[in-house]
């Protein structure tokens, strides 16, 4: 079929080696979940995938369109980071504390600065640029208690046409006065933001009580009421991260049997609920999360950095009662925006528990698995036709050591590819990102590679 000239102007394409997933490698023979097209063509129209497959098959159907070629690279779906605090961008790598004292000493004073809209916009800009520099195209983001910190993030994400999920942070106790809001204000402000931003362009909203400790019963009640009024918005909070936090939560909510029940009691646990960490969950809590279809955000660099604990990935992804899991940076408790670094620490956490994590599983957890955990796998996560064209071009030869380790690219077989991906997740970082595309447009190109393409 020959495209007509008008169409050809709207249609572009990218040629190279492609990897994505069409299933969950934790639930089938891993290789059956992998789609590897060594010389592929991804045809883009209106920010979406118009066609995808072998170059030799697809190219004749789209003669005359502009094609960008990425030889010796690997093109994958854009990474999703399903739990990250944009206001903490500047306190990444803050020394020496565990969760509750880290919040008091570093986080709360920094979040107070987001009262200033100009400042908030400056950090939102740096944050979004940093995501793109690391190949991340979608994130589930915490802001602060200040409505202006939410507005500027949505405005900047909308300007870049990036799919973001975010919401105002609710805190009405156990935080400094300068960082608490009343429950009714949080409710009303979030309600207005849902009406303004949820499903506007690519933006989506999450009701975001910080965690049980910083919300009264009344505030959690209002959060549940808001969720009931807008069932398709997300709920985003923290769960079972740190031993002290868990003990304090039990004191504050003496009539609940465990941490998860605090959120269950207020109608906050469902298939669009994302709980960061979940490190010290009981078997009953895992089973209830599974039944509810809720998600755990696995934040390896943060869990190690704050000394919080080791996530039981293999329990969460068990065949009998699986819980949805996506990878997350949790910056600034996490130490890197790079989902490659995040995979590397995820691997080490499984090793400390006498388990392991294959490269295919790790890349799945940062792409299609993460999209599925956000109920967005109909829009994001792989190169299926009609999906939003967010993708990342990886340079598996980003450093001399990676060139030595990874050998010839593209890989000749799935065995070689699996080994290259593992080398890349252990050795890679922002230098590995050659380009990042959002809705079919290149929003980031690695300056050191500009001459090559
Ligand atoms: Zn967090």
pLDDT in tens, 353-395: 999 999 999 999 999 999 999 999 999 999 999 999 999 999 9
**Mean pLDDT of the 289-316 span:** 97
CA of 63 to the centre of ligand 1 (A): 48
Do both 19 and 107 map to the same domain?
no
CA of 294 to the centre of ligand 1 (A): 17
**CA-to-CA distance for 106 and 179, rounded, in angstroms?**
13
Q: Which domain-ending residue is among 301, 316, 337?
A: 337
CA of 230 to the centre of ligand 1 (A): 24
Half-sphere exposure for 275 (CA within 13 Å, toward CB) = 34
**CA-to-CA distance for 141 and 439, rounded, in angstroms?**
20
Here the tokens at position 301 are: 């660099």
Q: What is the pLDDT, as a whole number, of residue 3? A: 45
Query: Residue 448 — very low, low, confident or very high, per pLDDT cuts 50/70/90?
Result: confident
Name the nearest CA neighbour of 205 among 386, 19, 5, 374. 374
Do both 71 and 142 map to the same domain?
no
CA of 42 to the centre of ligand 1 (A): 35
The answer, yes or no, to whether residue 451 has pLDDT greater than 70, is no
**CA-to-CA distance for 92 and 421, rounded, in angstroms?**
27
CA of 360 to the centre of ligand 1 (A): 26
CA of 14 to the centre of ligand 1 (A): 36
CA of 333 to the centre of ligand 1 (A): 7
Residue 357 lies in a domain: no
Do both 34 and 135 map to the same domain?
no
Q: Which parts of 250-335 are beta strand (E)?
A: 273-277, 295-298, 324-327
Q: Are strands 169-170 and 204-209 parallel, antiparallel or unpaired?
A: parallel
The CATH number of the domain holding residue 262 is 3.20.20.140
CA of 299 to the centre of ligand 1 (A): 8
Here the tokens at position 112 are: 């107070």
Q: What is the pLDDT, as a whole number, of residue 96? A: 83
The answer, yes or no, to whether residue 1 has pLDDT greater than 50, is no
pLDDT above 90: percentage of residues in the chain: 94
**CA-to-CA distance for 237 and 273, rounded, in angstroms?**
8
Residue 240 lies in a domain: yes
Do both 203 and 128 map to the same domain?
yes
Do both 202 and 305 map to the same domain?
yes
Contacts 24+ apart (CB under 8 A), 148-153: 148/114, 148/115, 148/117, 148/120, 149/87, 149/114, 149/120, 149/124, 150/193, 150/197, 151/117, 151/193, 152/117, 152/120, 152/121, 152/124, 153/86, 153/120, 153/124, 153/127
CA of 84 to the centre of ligand 1 (A): 6
**CA-to-CA distance for 448 and 427, rounded, in angstroms?**
18
Show Cβ contacts of residue 397 under 8 Å, excluding neighbours closer than 6 positions. Answer: 72, 403, 406, 409
Q: What is the pLDDT, as a whole number, of residue 97? A: 87
Helix (H) or strand (E) holding 284: helix 283-292
Helix (H) or strand (E) holding 7: helix 5-10
Tally of structural domains, the chain: 2
Phi-psi region of 84 (alpha: psi -120 to 50; beta: other; left: phi over 0): beta
CA of 288 to the centre of ligand 1 (A): 22
The answer, yes or no, to whether residue 76 has pLDDT greater than 60, is yes
Helix (H) or strand (E) holding 302: helix 300-305
Here the tokens at position 348 are: 């080490």
CA of 414 to the centre of ligand 1 (A): 35
CA of 69 to the centre of ligand 1 (A): 38
Quick check: helix, strand or coil at residue 49? strand
CA of 306 to the centre of ligand 1 (A): 11
CA of 241 to the centre of ligand 1 (A): 9
The answer, yes or no, to whether residue 6 has pLDDT greater than 60, is no
**Mean pLDDT of the 141-150 span:** 98
Residue 318 lies in a domain: yes
pLDDT above 70: percentage of residues in the chain: 97
CA of 321 to the centre of ligand 1 (A): 25
Query: Helix/strand/coil (H, E, C) string of 99-151?
Result: HHHHHHHHHHHHHHHHHCHHHHHHHHHHHHHHHHHCCEEEEEEECCCCHHHHH
Q: What is the pLDDT, as a whole number, of residue 431? A: 97
Do both 136 and 49 map to the same domain?
no
Do both 31 and 86 map to the same domain?
no
CA of 141 to the centre of ligand 1 (A): 9
CA of 160 to the centre of ligand 1 (A): 24
Here the tokens at position 347 are: 């691997």
The answer, yes or no, to whether residue 453 has pLDDT greater than 70, is no
Residue 92 lies in a domain: yes
Helix (H) or strand (E) holding 44: strand 34-45
Do both 235 and 112 map to the same domain?
yes
Radius of gyration of the chain, Cα coordinates, nearest whole angstrom: 22
Q: Residue 150: phi, psi to the nearest 5?
A: -80, -45
The answer, yes or no, to whether residue 7 has pLDDT greater than 60, is no
The CATH number of the domain holding residue 392 is 2.30.40.10
**Mean pLDDT of the 301-306 span:** 96
Q: Which domain-ending residue is among 272, 302, 337?
A: 337
pLDDT tens digits, one per residue of 146-163:
999 999 999 999 999 999
The answer, yes or no, to whether residue 8 has pLDDT greater than 60, is no
Q: Which domain-ending residue is among 270, 302, 337?
A: 337
Q: What is the pLDDT, as a whole number, of residue 291? A: 98
Q: What is the pLDDT, as a whole number, of residue 9? A: 62
Rounded to 10 degrees, what is the CA torsion of 270, 276, 280, 282? 10
DSSP codes, 200-243? STT-EEEEEE--GGGS-HHHHHHHHHHHHHSTTSEEEEEES--H
Do both 118 and 137 map to the same domain?
yes
Quick check: helix, strand or coil at residue 265? helix
Residue 371 lies in a domain: no
Do both 136 and 154 map to the same domain?
yes
CA of 238 to the centre of ligand 1 (A): 6
Residue 260 lies in a domain: yes
Residue 359 lies in a domain: no
CA of 268 to the centre of ligand 1 (A): 17
Question: What's the mean pLDDT when you consider all of the chain?
Answer: 96
Do both 25 and 35 map to the same domain?
yes
DSSP codes, 52-89? EEEHHHHGGGGTT-EEEEEEEEEEEEPEEEEEEEGGGG
CA of 411 to the centre of ligand 1 (A): 37
∠126-128-130 over CA atoms, to 5°? Answer: 65
Do both 34 and 109 map to the same domain?
no
Domain of residue 436 covers 5-78+382-452
**Mean pLDDT of the 307-314 span:** 97
CA of 83 to the centre of ligand 1 (A): 6
Residue 289 lies in a domain: yes
CB atoms within 10 A of CB 349: 22
**Could you give the C-alpha distances from 56 to 39, 73, 333, 411, in angstroms and in order?**
8, 18, 46, 18
Quick check: helix, strand or coil at residue 344? helix
The answer, yes or no, to whether residue 170 has pLDDT greater than 80, is yes
Q: What is the pLDDT, as a whole number, of residue 449? A: 78
Name the nearest CA neighbour of 397 among 408, 387, 388, 386. 408
pLDDT tens digits, one per residue of 198-216:
999 999 999 999 999 999 9
Query: Residue 98 — very low, low, confident or very high, per pLDDT cuts 50/70/90?
Result: confident
CA of 246 to the centre of ligand 1 (A): 15
């Amino acid at each position: 079929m020959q495209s007509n000239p008008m169409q050809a102007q709207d249609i572009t394409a990218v040629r190279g080696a492609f990897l994505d997933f069409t299933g969950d490698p934790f639930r089938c023979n891993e290789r059956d979940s992998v789609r590897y097209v060594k010389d592929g063509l991804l045809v883009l129209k209106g920010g979406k995938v118009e066609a995808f497959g072998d170059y030799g098959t697809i190219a004749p159907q789209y003669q005359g369109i502009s094609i960008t070629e990425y030889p010796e690279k690997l093109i994958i779906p854009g990474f999703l980071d399903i739990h990250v605090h944009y206001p903490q961008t500047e306190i990444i790598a803050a020394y020496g504390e565990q969760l509750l004292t880290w919040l008091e000493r570093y986080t709360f004073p920094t979040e107070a600065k987001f009262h200033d809209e100009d400042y908030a916009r400056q950090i939102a800009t740096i944050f979004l640029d940093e995501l793109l520099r690391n190949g991340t195209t979608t994130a589930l983001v915490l802001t602060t208690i200040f409505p202006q910190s939410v507005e500027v993030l949505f405005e900047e994400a909308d300007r870049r046409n990036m799919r973001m999920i975010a919401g105002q942070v609710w805190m009405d106790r156990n935080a400094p006065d300068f960082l608490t809001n009343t429950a009714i204000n949080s409710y009303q402000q979030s309600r207005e933001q849902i009406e303004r931003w949820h499903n506007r362009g690519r933006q989506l909203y999450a009701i975001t009580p910080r965690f049980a400790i910083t919300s009264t019963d009344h505030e959690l009640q209002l959060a549940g009421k808001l969720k009931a009024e807008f069932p398709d918005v997300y709920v985003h909070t923290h769960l079972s991260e740190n031993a002290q936090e868990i003990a304090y939560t039990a004191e504050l909510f003496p009539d609940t049997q465990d941490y998860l029940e605090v959120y269950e009691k207020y109608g906050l646990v469902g298939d669009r609920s994302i709980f960061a960490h979940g490190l010290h969950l009981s078997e009953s809590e895992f089973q209830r999360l599974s039944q509810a279809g809720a998600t755990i955000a696995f934040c390896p660099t943060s869990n190690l950095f704050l000394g919080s604990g080791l996530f039981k990935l293999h329990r969460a992804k068990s065949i009998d009662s699986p819980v949805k899991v996506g990878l997350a940076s949790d910056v600034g408790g996490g130490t890197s925006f790079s989902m490659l670094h995040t995979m590397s620490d995820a691997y080490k956490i499984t090793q400390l528990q006498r388990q392991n994590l294959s490269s295919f599983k790790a890349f799945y957890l940062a792409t299609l698995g993460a999209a599925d955990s956000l109920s967005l796998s109909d829009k994001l996560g792989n190169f299926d036709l009609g999906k939003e064209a967010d993708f990342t071009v990886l340079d598996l030869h980003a450093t001399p050591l990676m060139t030595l380790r990874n050998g010839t690219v593209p890989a000749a077989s799935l065995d070689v590819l699996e080994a290259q991906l593992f080398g890349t997740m252990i050795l890679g970082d922002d230098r590995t990102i050659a380009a990042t595309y959002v809705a079919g447009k290149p929003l980031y190109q690695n300056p050191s590679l500009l001459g090559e393409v």
